[in-house]
Each structure stands twice: as structure tokens, then as C-alpha cells.
Amino acid sequence: EGPGGGGELERERLVDAGSDRFRQFFDIYASSLPAREQKSRPEIAAMLHRRDYRVIVLESGVDVQGFSILFLAEKEPMALLEYMATRADLRNAGLGAQAFQASLAAAAGRRLLVEVDSPREDSPDRTIRERRQRFYGRQGCRRIRDLPYVLPLPGDGKPPLMDLMLHLNGDPQPVSRERLQSWLGVIYEAVYGQSPGDRRIATMLRDVSDPITLL
């Protein structure tokens, strides 16, 4: 992720978990994402066959250089950029912007939500978190004010403090708190296997304005 040039890469939807392309993609995924936030290889492989998911890889020839994982809600005009990364040796070369634009195109007609670790807590990677949010800001995303996003992944230890960012993706209409609550319920259920009425959602929304405010 980050600024820079870089030639335009091919964008392909990943469909075969037995392919070398999948192996390269998963190597980038496993090395880029904190273990606490990762899904298992079988869980990722299962996404390839779901109608509401797209795993998009950026490649040059047979060389996978980056990817994005995108959830496309079936009953709401919303998508979630679950994760995006580029190969460690190719960062800061403009590939992140290409991956984000590929995600926006795949989410045409939908608002795009982005889960990001928050720099508002003291952490060893705070500088990286700040940089990542600035990157998404350059792509047109805005943070939802007063929403302390809770990532509902199982695992040991306290989950990181997170923010939720939103790209309007061509639709400037305000988003009501009720609509955001519905979106969060869809994400909790379809992405993380939790109840759409999970109590954490109401807690998250407690201080959110109506309509929501984007920073």
C-alpha cells in the first residue's frame, strides 16, 4: 500500500484453491495479516465458491503481486473490503491503489466499507496504522465518526481497536444509522458467522450520529 507509480497489472478473480495462483495469494495473505485477524486456509478457499465473495489477484504473467478480498452483500447495496495487501518486496510502488481500484470496480453500485486497525490506541504498529488510514483517505474513504468497530473473530487475546471507513462509490446520499446497523448485521452474519442482532453492534452504534458523519 502507498504512493508510487508501477505498471498496470492484470486483475483476475481467483476461483481455484488448488492452483499455484492461490498458493502465491495465500502466502501474501498469511505474511501480511496479524495471526489474530486471519481466517484459516480452508475458510479462505471456501470463499472462492461463494456468490457473495470475490478474491481478486493482481498479477504480472504468472506472478501474483497483490490481492483484495471483497464481500458483496446480496440484499444490501454494500460491499466490505475485508482485506487487501501487496507482496512485501513490492510495497510502496502503487500496487495498493491498483488493488483498491479493482475492488471499487467489483463493487460497482454499492457503498464500500473498509475495516482498518485504529491508530487511536497505543500499539507497536501505530505508525503503520496511521499510514494505512492515510492511504485509504487518498483513495476517497472516510472514517465513520464515533464508531469503535469490533472485529468478531474468535481467538485468544483482546482484538485490536478498529475503525470502519466508507467509500461512497458514486452515491452521495447520506447513510442513516439504521442502514449502517443493517449493514453491520449483514457483515457479522455473512462474513463472521455471528448473529445479526449481536449486542456488540448496538454498543458500537451508541454514539454514532444519524445520519452518520464521515471524517
Task: Give the C-alpha distances (Å, rounded to integers) separating 112 from 44, 122, 131, 168, 189.
Answer: 20, 27, 20, 7, 17
- Please, which pLDDT band fits residue 5 given cuts at 50, 70 and 90? very low
Q: How many CA atoms lie within 13 A of 135 on its CB side?
A: 26
pLDDT digits (tens, 9 = 90+) for 75-129: 999 999 999 999 988 887 789 999 999 999 999 999 999 999 888 888 888 888 8
State residue 156's pLDDT score: 67
pLDDT digits (tens, 9 = 90+) for 153-206: 776 667 778 999 999 999 999 999 999 999 999 999 999 999 999 999 999 999
Q: Are the C-beta atoms of 188 and 198 separated by less than 8 Å? A: yes
pTM of this prediction exceeds 0.75: yes
Task: Give the C-alpha distances (Å, rounded to integers) separating 160 from 35, 148, 150.
Answer: 12, 10, 8
| pLDDT mean over 47-52 | 95
Of 27-36, 52-61, 108-117, minimum mean pLDDT range: 27-36
State residue 155's pLDDT score: 67
| Of 13, 102, 100, 104, the residue nearest 50 (C-alpha) | 13
| pLDDT mean over 67-82 | 96
State residue 68's pLDDT score: 96
